[in-house]
A and B are shown apart, each in its own frame.
Chain A
């Protein structure tokens, strides 16, 4: 095991690389008697091939169903006994699993993650039973017109890159995928040299690293699956998606191809989003659950304060490759879609034409600084950020983000607005409720 030297700052992250290629990040945080363990895999829905969309997410579900050394009937309670919670999620670039519990559960958490990496079972009957659970998850999402529109807009925005596929998968693939598809995907991607283990909390770093070595050291590495480079061609003109279905409320989305997290344009885009819709921060696990400070944001003023919309939000997610910047609008009862779309586009056009003010830049930097402080409020959230950025690029992309944001100028923001918010780079989505089939 290669370990970075003990840093002078006891709160810094210690990094280690096991001989089998597992990367380990440990950070001591002694504010509560808790530890959070996250195991991250560099695999997400962008790694799927046609016919098995949704396999990464389904595999994540299967990896909660017992292992060689954790019989199925002992899964329940395995972490709850320590007052803990566990979970997992899959998205376009990554799949991750976490446990947060009292510090005496550290070895148990490492045992669970080592088992999950090497020894999951994939019984036929479990695969079949999970098929309907996942289809239920998909249908539950389709009940929400905003989610439905998001899937359609994202699919329309990409014609070459698999980022266009929904992480949950397409229904036909979910119906036809086999146990062998699932197990094969699991075996190819769940290897130590394709993973990052993060431990944050009330631990002593050297002891934690030894515990990790004991649990994971004997897991054999494998050939790291190649992530095929796929370049989405430049979009040549505006694309439009229009859904008309039963419902009560209209929704509008404007999606623009946007820079990846490691791109120099990412920080200016974060500030542009803050100016348009309020700063969210960059923690997918925590930040998007509360309203951003947005009352003076340009799109909020133009749409919500003028009663054209009841809400507006922006999403610029940190991703490995260029994804989307999406503005989502809930249209006020009785307002024509055309009027809302035009009002939103006018705001974006004004940024391109006249730029932003130094005052707006200062305010949006304050917001991002505050949000990035607030989203560090638990061992779980701190651990998430370390593993997330390591999985999509490298941990230093996260560590350098504050400095990158600080260095952004008014001209940088205007430049990225001009480059990314151009009409030919956007996909516009409408969801209009049809009268028949409405719930009334």
Chain B
């Protein structure tokens, strides 16, 4: 390992007088800068009767701001070869963009105008609404999306994590300009936002520029609503979404896990890596793809959350193989819950996760996203330096404990979407 790696990312962090957190990291790998702004107003904040509010707001925010028509924003961005990526997850509305270093200051000024002074032009609201309605209709025709949304609705009934961030056609059509303006007024403020700048710009200059752009922003935004914990289920739940026009069925199979700040997140991380990530999909990939030749993809993911996020296993199979694939998943889940990892697997997992840090933190957008996540969850901006120890300290017993607590076929949520009608998924097969 080089000195640079031993020093870690070592970003500069400043909290401006108005409460805005600015995090800056210099990197000279390319003559470019990534700006990643996160605002605590993700889909978990949507009111029950306006699901999709944060999503629609994110689509319209960058289409007009004081002093900027949508057309002027379009021309400015396109002239610089820059695209703004607006996205929403459960917790954050995010604006991410990469520009050439010479464009950093004007692009950050535009980002500031968009975040602080959006105008939500009515015509833009209507246009983006049409886009979202079409996107929701596309999702309804996508077995992977339908299975994943299905399993989330089973895992989190009545909980904000169980809702689709885009909302429904009905809820999107019910959102008006007043609701968008109110959303912005309530959620967007310096106390609720973090700005990360990574690239070929000195950190102090990045902080100075951010101070000039955002320094006058004084709004008392509402704190994020507290989320109820997502309890473990004590029974198996299933749903089938028949899509007889499709060639292949998608299975989503999951559990709720632990919050990102829970110390058990690290044994969970290693356990999931070996269950459904390592090499070509971990144990699941080995069994379902490599040994049984049933699927092109078989893997599992864990999403970090403020409360207990999901572990989701995903497999795409021919409809004839749905039952066999479920049996294989049940068997791997039961084996992990019963015996956890072997000592060799634990070592392989640690070595992989520690060794992959330089690769996963190579590019400006990846570093910015990592720092934004560390800031949001309050994990410390030296997380990259602490991660090796956090992984290496995990024991076999801790992995076994987290696996036996969280995983059990008889408590799984199972959603199947595709050319499949059988609903015999309520009972575990292993």
B323 at the interface (CB under 8 A from A): no
Known A-B contacts A142-B248, A292-B83, A293-B83; A373 and B293 likewise in contact (beta carbons under 8 Å): no
* A379 surroundings in chain B (CB, below 8 A): 362
A407 at the interface (CB under 8 A from B): no
B127 touching A307 by the CB < 8 A rule?
Answer: yes
User: Which interface residue of B135, B286, B296 has the most chain A CB atoms within 10 A?
Assistant: B296
A82 touching B355 by the CB < 8 A rule?
Answer: yes
- In angstroms, Cα B130 to Cα A331, docked, is 10
User: Within the complex, what minimum Cβ distance (angstroms) separates A412 from chain B?
Assistant: 20
A378 at the interface (CB under 8 A from B): yes
A367 at the interface (CB under 8 A from B): yes
- In angstroms, Cα B84 to Cα A130, docked, is 40
B180 at the interface (CB under 8 A from A): no
B279 touching A81 by the CB < 8 A rule?
Answer: no
Contacting A at CB under 8 A, from B212-227, are none
Number of A-B contacts (CB under 8 A): 215
Smallest CB-CB separation from B283: which chain A residue? A76
User: Within the complex, what minimum Cβ distance (angstroms) separates A372 from chain B?
Assistant: 9
User: Within the complex, what minimum Cβ distance (angstroms) separates B183 from chain A?
Assistant: 22
User: Which interface residue of B130, B242, B278 has the most chain A CB atoms within 10 A?
Assistant: B130
* B74 surroundings in chain A (CB, below 8 A): 295-296
- In angstroms, Cα B250 to Cα A245, docked, is 19
Chain A 122-139 interface mask (CB, 8 Å, partner B; 1/0): 000000111111111111
B348 at the interface (CB under 8 A from A): yes
- In angstroms, Cα B129 to Cα A310, docked, is 10
Question: Which one of B32, B142, B241 lies within 8 Å of A143 (CB-CB)?
Answer: B142
- In angstroms, Cα B143 to Cα A292, docked, is 27
* A245 surroundings in chain B (CB, below 8 A): 245
> Looking at the complex, which of B13-21, B23-31, B150-158, B393-401 is the stretch in contact with chain A?
B23-31
B83 touching A143 by the CB < 8 A rule?
Answer: no
A21 at the interface (CB under 8 A from B): no
A102 touching B245 by the CB < 8 A rule?
Answer: no
> Looking at the complex, which of A29-37, A179-187, A391-399 is the stretch in contact with chain B?
A29-37
A85 touching B98 by the CB < 8 A rule?
Answer: no
* A333 surroundings in chain B (CB, below 8 A): 130, 133-134, 137
- In angstroms, Cα B128 to Cα A304, docked, is 9
Known A-B contacts A330-B134, A369-B81, A376-B30; A247 and B248 likewise in contact (beta carbons under 8 Å): no
* A376 surroundings in chain B (CB, below 8 A): 30
- In angstroms, Cα B138 to Cα A375, docked, is 29
* A305 surroundings in chain B (CB, below 8 A): 127
A373 touching B100 by the CB < 8 A rule?
Answer: yes
* B339 surroundings in chain A (CB, below 8 A): none
> Looking at the complex, which of A153-161, A203-211, A420-428, A432-440 is the stretch in contact with chain B?
A432-440
Contacting A at CB under 8 A, from B80-128, are 80-83, 85, 98-100, 126-127
* B286 surroundings in chain A (CB, below 8 A): 76
| Contact-size category for B | 35 or more
Known A-B contacts A83-B358, A374-B98; A248 and B293 likewise in contact (beta carbons under 8 Å): no
Smallest CB-CB separation from B82: which chain A residue? A293
* A367 surroundings in chain B (CB, below 8 A): 78, 81
Smallest CB-CB separation from B124: which chain A residue? A305
User: Within the complex, what minimum Cβ distance (angstroms) separates B88 from chain A?
Assistant: 15
A83 touching B352 by the CB < 8 A rule?
Answer: yes
User: Within the complex, what minimum Cβ distance (angstroms) separates B244 from chain A?
Assistant: 6
Known A-B contacts A249-B137, A249-B138; A129 and B246 likewise in contact (beta carbons under 8 Å): no
- In angstroms, Cα B83 to Cα A371, docked, is 10
Question: Which one of A80, A85, A297 lies within 8 Å of B348 (CB-CB)?
Answer: A80
B316 at the interface (CB under 8 A from A): yes
- In angstroms, Cα B75 to Cα A129, docked, is 52
Known A-B contacts A81-B355, A84-B359, A371-B81; A438 and B245 likewise in contact (beta carbons under 8 Å): yes
* A84 surroundings in chain B (CB, below 8 A): 355-356, 359
User: Within the complex, what minimum Cβ distance (angstroms) separates B210 from chain A?
Assistant: 22
Known A-B contacts A248-B138, A305-B127; A370 and B100 likewise in contact (beta carbons under 8 Å): yes
A279 at the interface (CB under 8 A from B): yes
- In angstroms, Cα B214 to Cα A36, docked, is 40
- In angstroms, Cα B74 to Cα A297, docked, is 9
- In angstroms, Cα B132 to Cα A249, docked, is 12
Contacting A at CB under 8 A, from B134-167, are 134-135, 137-138, 140-144, 146
A338 at the interface (CB under 8 A from B): no
B293 touching A129 by the CB < 8 A rule?
Answer: yes
Contacting B at CB under 8 A, from A329-385, are 330-333, 363, 366-371, 373-374, 376-379
A278 at the interface (CB under 8 A from B): yes
Question: Which one of A136, A248, A297, A377 lies within 8 Å of B294 (CB-CB)?
Answer: A136
- In angstroms, Cα B135 to Cα A173, docked, is 35
- In angstroms, Cα B80 to Cα A372, docked, is 13
* B130 surroundings in chain A (CB, below 8 A): 307, 310, 332-333
A223 at the interface (CB under 8 A from B): no
B316 touching A140 by the CB < 8 A rule?
Answer: yes
- In angstroms, Cα B69 to Cα A305, docked, is 14
User: Which interface residue of A34, A75, A139 has the most chain B CB atoms within 10 A?
Assistant: A139
* B174 surroundings in chain A (CB, below 8 A): none
* B247 surroundings in chain A (CB, below 8 A): 138-140, 142-143
User: Within the complex, what minimum Cβ distance (angstroms) separates A150 from chain B?
Assistant: 15
Listed by A's residue number, 13 A-B pairs whose Cβ atoms lie within 8 Å are A32-B362, A76-B286, A131-B293, A136-B248, A139-B247, A143-B142, A145-B141, A248-B137, A304-B127, A378-B363, A439-B141, A439-B146, A439-B246
A residues apposed to B, CB below 8 Å: 31-34, 64, 75-77, 80-85, 100-102, 128-140, 142-145, 245-249, 278-279, 290-297, 304-305, 307, 310-311, 330-333, 363, 366-371, 373-374, 376-379, 433, 437-440
B residues apposed to A, CB below 8 Å: 1-2, 4-5, 27-32, 70-71, 73-75, 77-83, 85, 98-100, 126-127, 130-131, 133-135, 137-138, 140-144, 146, 241-248, 250, 278-280, 286, 289-297, 316-318, 348, 351-359, 362-365, 418
Q: With A136-B294, A144-B142 given, can you name 13 additional A-B contacts, CB distance below 8 Å?
A: A32-B362, A76-B278, A76-B286, A77-B348, A80-B352, A132-B293, A136-B296, A293-B82, A307-B127, A310-B130, A310-B131, A377-B365, A439-B242
